[in-house]
Amino acid sequence: MSDTDKSETRIRRADDNLWFCLATLYGEEEAGSPVNYELRDKNRSAWNRWIAGALGDLQRAELLAKGFPESELKPLSPDEKSAFYSAFAARIGGLPPEPEHGVDFSHTHFNRKVVFDGFLFAPFLKARSARFSGDADFAEATFVGKADFEDATFSDFADFDGATFFDFADFSGATFSTSTIFESTTFSDNAYFVGATFANYVSFSAATFSGQTTFCEATFSYRVSFIDAKWAAITTFENADFKEFVPDFRGATMHEATEWHGVSWPKPPRSKVDAQTQIYAYERLRLEMERLKKHDDEQTFFRKELRARRRLFPILSANWLLNAIYQALSDYGNSFSRPLLWLGGVFAAGIAIFTQVPLCAGQPMPFKLAARLSFANIFIFLNDKRELIARPDMTACLSDTTAAVSAAQSVSGVVLLFLLILALRNRFRMRGSS
């Protein structure tokens, strides 16, 4: 929906929404008071039995097989229906909305805590551009048809713990301003979080994604947990932005078609605590990509893991220096252009030094000879170096400076050539399916 469409759509109060009045048929819990479980159960049972009237026999059987309470799927008897109509008339007046039309919370402002714990939503739920200013409790809720939360705003705690989505779940463009829980949630069909914004902690721990899952261009401003989550179909995090923390996928099982292109990852850690957290997260991602034979992604997470490990070492210590040099020379074995550039620099530096250092006759080394010697020093395994050193004029005239530079070039050449070969191997290596 465009910004213009949003501005032209009037946001209605929760008390003006017939479906919300139906969800709170017997009243709302008072803010700051202890939980009134009797009232919750009474509201939920009335709602579920009314909504169950829109279910077909197959849907009812499937819900029962999933453990949904049979007592809350039983159609209202004539006497119960009469009492239901009377209760609704007392609540707001008029007749309750028919369940066959689908639940409609779209463009509604819920300015206090709402409790839909264990509620049944059928044949679909529309909550597009809904605003939840208080806690939004959808824990253990069951969504039989499509659940449309596109562009919804959750300004306070949002709880979908243990919820079940039998059909398409769309949270595209939704904004979650505080902690959000999707733990143990089941997504039986496609789940879209395209462009969603999570401003605080969000947990998908132990969630199950059976359909395609899309987090394209989603923004995660704080910690996000996918611990023990399971994906059974294509999953994409294309252009997602993890601003402060690396997502935690420990124990998660990803689908082989998991896409990471364009993802923005957090900056290198500033403290040892942050470093250790990043190491665990990247390590898990690397191992999962290795299992899936996604070599490029495995290398990406390996490099990020190594960069995070550097923060654990004292600055300028041997381990710190080796780590920094490895990154600078080859981007941790990923870049073949860096070793080539460094080789070019070593080659040019050798020529510059050799043409300035006098020979035994007091004259600088000719450019052609300097270039040949510099090349031979780098590629020491070639016969050219032996031939040059064996020449009488070179043996007698090489200064200590020339010898020292030659030795440094030979060591640098071996290291840089090794890193070049390593980068090429990592870039083009093909792994078997086993």
Concatenating the DSSP letter of every residue in 56-98 gives: -HHHHHHHHHTT--GGGTSPPPHHHHHHHHHHHHHHTSSPPPP
- 337-368 pLDDT, tens digit each: 999 999 999 999 999 988 887 765 567 778 88
Phi and psi at 84, nearest 5°, equal -65, -45
pLDDT for residue 2: 47
- 263-309 pLDDT, tens digit each: 999 999 999 999 999 999 999 999 999 999 888 899 999 999 999 99
Percent over 70 (pLDDT), the chain: 92
**Residue 223: how many CB atoms within 10 A of its CB?**
19
pLDDT for residue 4: 43
- Tokens for 171, please give them: 């949270």
Pairing of strands 175-176, 153-154: parallel
Q: Is 130 helix (H, G, I), strand (E, B) or coil?
A: coil
More confident residue, 129 or 76: 129
Dihedral over Cα of 412, 415, 419, 425: its sign:
positive
**Residue 224: how many CB atoms within 10 A of its CB?**
25
Cβ-count burial of 159 within 10 angstroms (0-12 exposed, 13-18 middle, 19+ buried)?
buried
More confident residue, 1 or 98: 98
CA atoms within 13 A on the CB side of 431: 13
Phi and psi at 342, nearest 5°, equal -65, -40
401 has a pLDDT exceeding 90: no
Contacts 24+ apart (CB under 8 A), 181-190: 181/139, 181/157, 182/207, 183/207, 185/160, 185/161, 186/210, 187/211, 187/213, 188/164, 189/165, 190/214, 190/233
pLDDT for residue 7: 42
| pLDDT band at residue 397 under the 50/70/90 scheme | low
Give the span between the Cα atoms of 406 and 380, in whole angstroms: 10
Q: What average pLDDT does range 120-144 have in this prediction?
A: 96
- Tokens for 101, please give them: 């039309």
Q: Is 144 helix (H, G, I), strand (E, B) or coil?
A: coil
pLDDT for residue 365: 78
Give the span between the Cα atoms of 132 and 154, in whole angstroms: 5
Dihedral over Cα of 131, 172, 118, 70: its sign:
positive
- 321-333 pLDDT, tens digit each: 999 999 999 999 8
> Are 266 and 230 spatial neighbours (Cβ–Cβ below 8 Å)?
no
pLDDT for residue 336: 87
pLDDT for residue 36: 86
| pLDDT band at residue 434 under the 50/70/90 scheme | very low
Dihedral over Cα of 236, 242, 246, 252: its sign:
negative
Q: What average pLDDT does range 20-39 have in this prediction?
A: 87
pLDDT for residue 432: 42
Q: What is the mean pLDDT of the chain?
A: 90
